[in-house]
Chains A and B, each alone.
Chain A
């Protein structure tokens, strides 16, 4: 059974950093691109970015709203994807989801809440 479990969310002050983890199981993690999404309270889904599999160079793409502040990485030996978030802003407050895939997203984690507030 495919499972994705996010962790690392919490309350953080504006300007600070936070790193989210997505631990995967039930599939060959290294074979897949992994993506991150977020959903602000009461709002719709927003794509954050994705990381390709090593077979496709392991490169990353980001939404304009987070480019230069957020970094996605992966550790295939541990089946974990990371979302490093720097220079956080209040508008980054959201539930963050990790998903499998890059053009459609067939498995989603349960999400982790990030609250950016002073």
Chain B
């Protein structure tokens, strides 16, 4: 059981938008603005897509955006493209008392 809760799967057609949620607690997602999102294609290493809730690293398309409300963070992908099909993981800093970094279980995005 992962510390953060994500839907197991989401899907959308090319050009559409999808949102992946990530629910934690006030000790992780809700307590810090240190939520990040990672994209992982099969057999590949994860790739940072969003950090500090809503910041995009250089080279990540602006179709990817992040937000947070209370204990739930969200990743929205607009203008879906075939290459967006991958697993997406959310991650949050959780303070050093119990566990520093927690992950969601991952969401499989299917582009129909």
Q: Which residues of B contact A106 (CB under 8 A)?
A: 48, 51, 57
A109 near B45 with CB under 8 A, answer yes
**For chain B residues 52-73, which have a beta carbon within 8 Å of chain A?**
52, 57
Rounded to whole Å, the gap between the CB of B40 and the closest CB of chain A is 8
Interface residues of B toward A: which range?
A: 20 to 34
Known: A45-B89, A111-B45. A104 touches B34 (CB 8 A): yes
Within 8 Å CB of B36, what residues of A? 103-105
Whether B100 lies near A47 (C-beta < 8 A) is yes
CA distance A109 to B96 in the complex (A): 25
Q: Would you call A108 an interface residue if the criterion is a C-beta within 8 Å of the partner chain's C-beta atoms?
A: yes
Decide yes or no whether B46 CB sits under 8 A from chain A: yes
Q: Which residue of B lies closest to A47 (CB)?
A: B101
